Structure 1
Amino acid sequence: MEQIRKHFDKIVRQTDKDWEVFSSRLTRRAFPKKTTLLKVGEKENHLSFIQEGAIRFCIPKEFDDLTFGFVFADNFVSAYDSFLTQTPSTYQLETLTDTILWSLTYQDLQKIYDETEVGDKIGRFASENLYLKKAKRELSLLNETAEQRYLKLFTEQPHLIQQIPLKYIASYIGITPQALSRIRKRIS
């Protein structure tokens, strides 16, 4: 939990009282790899901070899932549109590695907003962080080649990328596993 406080202190200094309120609402949740955290049709009730691990966002398909996002340690994760609207999700979240999350429920986050001086700033930071990741992904798909997207992912998370099955990476960058193999062969 100290890791989370350090992360938030980079954004906004909290009083010990605010931290006490905030941290009292956090729940530690540990999951083995390949755990579905949220299924299509379920309502997202958690905004979580990843202490360790990796999570993928995907749309289940009959033969191959469509992977459209990865989130790694020291970042927030949520099916945020479902979380904000409290409506069923149209995609699912799955752990790629053993994962530890520190989570707030929707109701607890509302209480933090009401009971602390910095709750709104923390909430704004989390939502801005999630939005920026989404915008970055969309721009990447529009402006970069598959090879550039692969290299960027490899550069940003080299130690974790080795733990992600190639079929998920290929889906994420918008190509087939065979095309990814050709890219990897060309750049090695």
Structure 2
Amino acid sequence: MYKALQEAVNAIMPMTDADFVLLDAMTSTFSVLKGQTLMEPGRVCTDIYFLTHGVFRMYYVDPDGREINYRFALENNFMVDFQSFLSRKPSHYYWQAMENARGFAFSYNDVQEAYRQSRNWERFGRLMAEQVYQQVNERIELLQFLTPEQRYLHVVATQPALVNQISQFHLSSYLGVTPESLSRIRKRLSQH
């Protein structure tokens, strides 16, 4: 499990053995059963998580009571509500395990200490924040500038694991369409 974390970190920013010793000292583990939540609105996101097994959905409830999927976290990926984590303000999102999940957690205080002790970790934090910003911006632009069919094709091209691991119901919410509309899009595309 730890090897997957090291590989994910090195993919963002190559680290030294000393940097990984520092990481090891601040790593705790977590596990969540399918259907349970790791985060809920009103709570401050106090940790950065690395998912080694399972799938999470990040969603919010709109004024009409509908659950809107905002993001998904798959195995061997980091997950954090950076807005809440950095500002120390309550989150607006639920994080629900879509299957039994486990991984590693890094507290806000430990992350700040790693930034103080290591320029590499400080740079890693900046690069990770840039990646999160790009993901959030891509999500906004996906909904603002692409048709539902273009959104689906974009997800197929850039995140094929989502199409394979997430139910049509949850995927349609993420794409901003009804499950019936997504079914029609898939049928139309399969006929080409």
Correspondence for 1:89: 91
Relative distance call for 1:161 and 1:95 in structure 2 (3 A) is farther
Relative distance call for 1:153 and 1:131 in structure 2 (3 A) is same
Q: Deviations over 1:37-66 (max 9, x none)?
A: 101111111111222332211112564301
Q: Which residue identity is paired with 2:16? A: T
The share of aligned pairs that are identical, in percent, is: 29
| 1:183 CA displacement | 1.2
Aligned 8 A contact 2:44 2:84 in 1: yes
Relative distance call for 1:63 and 1:12 in structure 2 (3 A) is closer
Question: 1:93-104 maps to which residues of 2 (within 5 A)?
Answer: 93-104=95-106
Structure 1 unaligned blocks of 5 or more: none
For the pair 1:53 / 2:54, whether they are aligned, the reply is: yes
Q: Which residue identity is paired with 2:150? A: Q
Correspondence for 1:29: 30
| 1:30 CA displacement | 2.2
Separation of aligned partners in 2, 1:8 and 1:159? 20
Relative distance call for 1:70 and 1:14 in structure 2 (3 A) is same
Correspondence for 2:107: 105
Q: Per the alignment, in what secondary structure is the counterpart of residue 57 of structure 1? A: strand
Q: Per the alignment, in what secondary structure is the counterpart of residue 51 of structure 2? A: strand
Separation of aligned partners in 2, 1:138 and 1:90? 17
Relative distance call for 1:132 and 1:159 in structure 2 (3 A) is closer
Q: Per the alignment, in what secondary structure is the counterpart of residue 162 of structure 1? A: helix
RMSD between aligned alpha carbons?
1.9
Q: Which residue identity is paired with 2:29? A: R
| 1:184 CA displacement | 1.9
Relative distance call for 1:148 and 1:97 in structure 2 (3 A) is farther
Q: Which residue identity is paired with 1:25? A: M
Q: Which residue identity is paired with 2:175? A: I
Q: Per the alignment, in what secondary structure is the counterpart of residue 119 of structure 2? A: coil
Separation of aligned partners in 2, 1:51 and 1:129? 19
More divergent stretch after superposition (113-122 vs 130-139): 113-122
Q: Which residue identity is paired with 1:113? A: Y
Q: Which residue identity is paired with 2:91? A: S
Correspondence for 1:186: 188
| 1:159 CA displacement | 4.3
Aligned pair count reads 188
Q: Deviations over 1:107-145 (max 9, x none)?
A: 110111112231101111221111111011111112211
Q: Scaled by the length of structure 1, what TM-score is found? A: 0.89
Q: Scaled by the length of structure 2, what TM-score is found? A: 0.88
More divergent stretch after superposition (23-32 vs 40-49): 23-32
Correspondence for 1:117: 119
Q: Per the alignment, in what secondary structure is the counterpart of residue 69 of structure 2? A: strand
Q: Which residue identity is paired with 2:52? A: Q
Q: Deviations over 1:14-34 (max 9, x none)?
A: 222221011221112122322
